[in-house]
Structures are given as structure tokens and as C-alpha cells.
Amino acid sequence: MNLEALLTHPEGFGLTGASIPQRAICRVMTGEPLAEYATHPDVIGMLGGVAAVSALPVGRAPDMCLLGAAVRCAKSTIVAAKAVRNAYLGDCSGLAPGEIPRVPIVSVDLDKAQETFSKITGAVLNSPRLYQLLVQKPTKDSILIRNRSGRPVEIKMAAGSVAGRTLVSRWLLGIIFDEAPRMQGQEDGVINLDDALSAVMARMRPGAQIDLVGSLWAPRGKAFELITHRFGQPGTDLVVMVANGPQLRPDLYTPEYCERIRKADDRAYEADVMSHFADPESVLIPSVEITAATRADTGLRATPMQGYVAVIDPATRGNGWTLVVIGTKPDGGYELVLAREWIGSRATPLKGSQVLPQIEQAIEPYGIHEVHTDQAGFDHLSDIAELVQVGFELRLVTRDDEIACKRLPALFTERRLTLPDVKQLRADLIALKRRPKQGGGSAPVLPKTADGRHCDYGAAVLLAMQVLPEAEQVALPTLDDETLFCLRAQDRINQGPMHAAGMRLMGAT
């Protein structure tokens, strides 16, 4: 049951003309050495560099593989072969008599799931070798394969909202999420990939693997996060592979063919041919701009000679109550230094009397005495703020869509705004859209997501565009050698940045 042989053998899945990258995918998925494929430039590119090739787990398969690839490049055939291999080689030891473990193939809809499942039934029914593993005649959505232990194993097709029942009822010898990049996690989507992965963890047999495959699409969700943070950094827990059409199928994706698709539909070219996440035309801020603006930290401490603005988007039940703090930089730019969120529910809604004191505590290090918000609940919150005696004043801001839609994208384009590495903040900003207004201009759109949120960080950041001062480049004071020596000495004593000493020397409070 060597996966590469199973994929390419005429009595297996029959992909006799498989390219070197397609063969390499099989070896990576099963933890086998790349050997002669390790120096192939398309394999190196698919894995994220020479260092990534060297860091691949060998001798054991990774717990999870993510393959983002162009369309018509045999993704479904590869995972179909993987499902049969999982069913045959999976660990069935210790199972009770009569227990039938499962290898689910989960997809966003019935049509996508059926494509992969039909490849399995076609290969098994038409191969003299694989037919020997068949326990009984396949049904329309499942097939029983005999495990090497003799126990039957079910390969089960599941799609859409009913997929959840397939994942929690049996022991699993592996699981395949087909078109995983279109499963948008907690933000939206028919299948919540985040919750699905959580549900299967306790049901995986020893050595069972999770495979996430599909063509890339919108820049959000679990697959987007994994590719953003782990491409080029393989480990035993996860290996990410991203391959475009010319790498996987140079016979199909000739330069002429690629150019024809690009001219016809630029977004399809980016996603389906080049394996890039593609933004919809209505997006307010391109995802690449947001990624470029994201720092490695999750927040910044207060620094001398920097002014700060705090904005909240209040909520009590389904939405998130968000707080953002943005500071001006001496070079004319801005830093989003703090992003906090409080989540309530219908059963336990948030209370302003509890959240406002926490906001005061969060903004106190930045020396902020005003918090800006819009009309929603302003009067009620103002009364609560007086009752609990918080040390800041609520300021009412009337939303101006035109200012927000112009200023925020411009700050990203000009590289004048940086963000902390906060997953929900990035997801909300990516989800923001613009809608043309009658008579000209545009208005921001904050889509409602499956978990009840309305891009709540996005709402706060948009409002901040109206209260942020125009940052002007300020010349930093020149410090003499003696002062610098004192600052560095104080820093060594405190084992931290030169913050406190710098505040005193520059006259800040």
C-alpha cells in the first residue's frame, strides 16, 4: 500500500503519467523520503524552500497535511487513493467485536464529495487487486474495505451540514476534508472546519491522519490561517504544500493556456491556476495588504512621545464588544497597539457595568482619558460609566462612511498602519466589503457571520478613522552620549526596554 504506487499503478488508480510534484505529494503525505525528488525546483517551491524540504518529517507521516493546489491537478485522485490506504493500513487493534471504523470524506456539497467517492469505487471495482479488498457491494455513499487485520472499514462520503454526524459516531482511521479552503471556519461557511477538527481529535485511532485539500479561494478561514503561518515550516504535526498548475501539470498548464485564463477571469487565474488566495472585487482592503501590515506581536506597550486613540464597538449578546487602541508614530504612521474583545450570548449577555471597568484597566497604560463610540447605546453607556465611575469619558462619534472607506484602505496602501497578530482582528478586516452608493461614493459592508458577529473589530477600526489625528513626522530629540549611557544602564537593570527611564528624561508622565 505504498501511496505513490497505489496512485500511479495501472491496477491502482491509474495515474501513470503523474508528474514529479504529484509523486512527491504522496511521499510527503506518508512520511517517506523525497530521495531523488528533493532537488526538483517545483517540489522545493511547493514546500516553501530548501530549508522546508530538509525539515520534512521522515519515517512517520505528519498528523495533518494541507494541500492547496490548482484545479484539474489530480487532488481528488490523490486523496481517493489515500482513503483506500488509510482503510487498509489503519490501526484497528483493541476495537470491540462488530465495531466498524470509518474514513470519512467530507466536502462542502454533495457534488464535490461524490467526485472523490466515485474515484474510489471506480478504482476498486475495476482493479483485480483492489477488488479483493471489497467486503460488499458499495452503496451510493459508502464502501467497505477489508483492513489488513481482516476487520471491515467504511469509507463514507459526507457533505454540507449533515457532515457532522459522520464525524462523531465512529472511530476514525483518517479523515479527508475535500475543498477545505472553502470551509470557512467560525466566520462563515456550510461546514465549520474549526469545530469539525475539534470534534474528530478524540476519535482518531493511533497513526490516523487528517488531510485538508482543495483549491485556494477567499483569504479567510482555517486553511488560510494554516497556510499563512505554517507554509515553509513543516513539522510532525503539520505539513503545508501549495502548488500551482504549471508545477503540477505542465502538460495542461502551458503558458498559452494560463494566459487565456488570465485574460478571461483574473480572479479565477489567481485562485485556480496560480494557487493564490483571491479577494472578491467588493473587498474594502486587499488581504495581501492586511498580511503585509501584520506584525509578529499581539500588542504593543505604551511608548514615549506617542498619542493614542481608543474606540469601542459595544455589544451585549451575539456580537463581540471590541476595543482598539491606535497610536501615532513620529514618522507619520500609525500602530494599532491593542485589540481586545468581549463575547456575550443570549443566555449570559455582557453588562456594561462589568466591561467598562475592564476597558479602563486595558487603556490605562496608554494615558487615555477618552473612549470614542457611535450612537448605538451611547446614552445608556454614558449613564453606566458615571455610575461605576470609570476614569475616562465616552465620546460620541457620528459615523461617516465616506471618510472610513477612503482613509482606511489608503493607510494600508501607503504602509502607514501596522496591526498586531490577532486572528479575529485580521479576519474581520479581510471580511470588510464596500458597496457603491447611489450618487457616487461607497459605504462599508460588515457581513454577518455564522457565529453571530458583524466584523466587530472592523466596525471599531472604521470608526477610528474619523477620530485619528493626521500624523505628522516629528523630529526625535537628540540625546547626548551620557544620557544614552544612562538609558542603557537602566534598561539592563530592569531587564526590559528603555521605557520608564525614557519617559522621565523626556518629561512624559
What pLDDT does 402 receive? 86
In a domain, 286, yes or no: no
Residue 276 CA to residue 27 CA, distance in Å, equals: 24
Is there a single domain that holds both residue 181 and residue 90? Answer: yes
Whether 421 and 375 share a structural domain: yes
User: Is residue 188 in a domain?
Assistant: yes
Q: Which CATH number is 232's domain given?
A: 3.40.50.300
Query: In sequence order, what are the residues at sequence separation of 6 or more whose Cβ sits closer than 8 angstroms to the Cβ of residue 271?
Result: 215, 216, 217, 277, 278
Q: Is residue 280 part of a domain?
A: no
340-359 pLDDT per residue, tens: 999 887 778 889 999 999 99
Give one DSSP letter per residue of 400-446, joined into a string: -HHHHHHHHHHHHHTT-EEB---HHHHHHHHH-EEEEPTTS-EEEE-
Residues 431 and 503 in one domain: no
CATH label of the domain that carries residue 391: 3.30.420.240
Where the chain has pLDDT below 70, the residues are 160-166, 184-191, 318, 449-452, 471-509
What is the rounded distance in angstroms from the CA atom of residue 207 to the CA atom of residue 202?
13
DSSP assigned state of 294 = B
Co-location of 313 and 265 in the same domain: no
Query: Are 252 and 299 in the same domain?
Result: no
Q: How far is CA 426 from CA 85, 220, 421, 496, 501, in A?
A: 38, 9, 8, 29, 34
Q: Are residues 267 and 317 in the same domain?
A: no
Query: Could you tell me if 143 and 215 lie in one domain?
Result: yes
Q: Would you state the torsion angle of the CA atoms of residues 104, 109, 110, 113, taken in this order, to the nearest 10 degrees? A: -40
Q: Distance between CA atoms of 494 and 54, rounded to whole angstroms? A: 40
Provide the residue type at 218 as one letter: A
How confident is the model at residue 506, as a pLDDT? 34
Q: Whose CA is closest to 29, among 71, 58, 69, 72?
A: 58
In a domain, 284, yes or no: no
338 domain-assigned = yes
Q: Which pLDDT score, from 0 to 100, does residue 502 have?
A: 33
Do 413 and 485 fall into the same domain?
Answer: no
Taking the model in full, what pTM does it have?
0.73
pLDDT at 371: 96
Task: Strands of 115-253 (E only): list them.
Answer: 142-146, 152-159, 175-178, 210-214, 239-243
- pLDDT of 366 reads 95
454 and 491 share a domain?
no
pLDDT at residue 450, as a whole number: 57
10 Å CB burial of residue 404 (0-12, 13-18, 19+) is buried
Residue 401 in contact with residue 433, Cβ under 8 Å?
no
* 408 phi and psi angles, rounded to 5 deg: -65, -50
- What integer pLDDT is reported at residue 153 of this predicted model? 98
Domain boundary among the residues 238, 273, 308 is at 273
The tally of domains found in the chain comes to 3
In a domain, 172, yes or no: yes
Q: Give yes or no: residues 263 and 183 share one domain.
A: yes
Q: Are strands 334-343 and 417-418 parallel, antiparallel or unpaired?
A: parallel
Residue 303 and residue 237 share a domain = no
Do 126 and 50 fall into the same domain? yes
- Per-residue pLDDT tens digits for 450-461: 566 788 999 999
Q: Which domain holds residue 75?
A: 3-273
Cα-based distances in Å from 14 to 125, 143, 192, 404, 447: 13, 20, 34, 55, 45
Among 244, 273, 302, identify where a domain stops.
273
The reply to whether 454 falls in a domain is: yes
> Could you tell me if residue 505 is inside a domain?
yes
